[in-house]
Amino acid sequence: MDNATFDQLALERTCKTLFGVDVEVKQVIAWRVPVNRTDHATVFLTTKKQLYAYVEAQSRLLLSDVKKIMSRMGLKAELYVPPKGRPRYFDEVGRKKFNEVFPGRTHVTDDDIVFYRTLAPYAPALVQINEVKNGVVYQFDSDASGGWRPAIKFTYRRIRTS
């Protein structure tokens, strides 16, 4: 078994155990591209023609950090996959953070916790991608103008069917 196949199997197993998403990697678009000084992202296509980005981090990432990384990579996110067994993870953490700031509030709506959801710890992260903006996936490069440079050209847009 070569290293690429082993890495794909490890990625599939990680997605299954941490996020409960059963994926079969068809093609790796970008393997472990840097997204900041310490963290990496892998962008891959599944056999069902779904594009995912898996972010592995040494640092503590929040949902807001992952959203910013996806935007800077030129990826438009469709779904930030919560940890396995916790489908309302971001809402739970958002409500908890909101109650820490406003302990007297009893009636908390979803609109109230929009910001506080983004404070949820989210490392590693799995993001289902809706579209690659401008057909280019970017990677972090401290020497490049703006801090990001093209990693690979790849065109993708998910078309919803019924």
Q: Express each pLDDT in 42-69 by its tens digit.
A: 999 999 999 999 999 998 999 999 999 9
Dihedral of CA atoms 141, 142, 143, 145 in degrees, nearest 10, equals 80
Classify residue 94 by burial, with Cβ atoms within 10 Å: 0-12, 13-18, 19+. buried
Q: What is the DSSP letter of 5?
A: H
User: What per-residue confidence (pLDDT) applies to 162?
Assistant: 62
Nearest to 124 by CA among 89, 81, 94: 81
Average pLDDT value for residue range 133-139: 96
Mean pLDDT over the full length of the chain: 93
Residue 121: phi, psi to the nearest 5?
Answer: -60, 135
**Residue 134 has what DSSP assignment?**
G
Distance CA 64, CA 117 (A): 8
Task: State residue 5's pLDDT score.
Answer: 79
- The structure tokens listed for 142 are 């401290």
* Prediction pTM value: 0.92
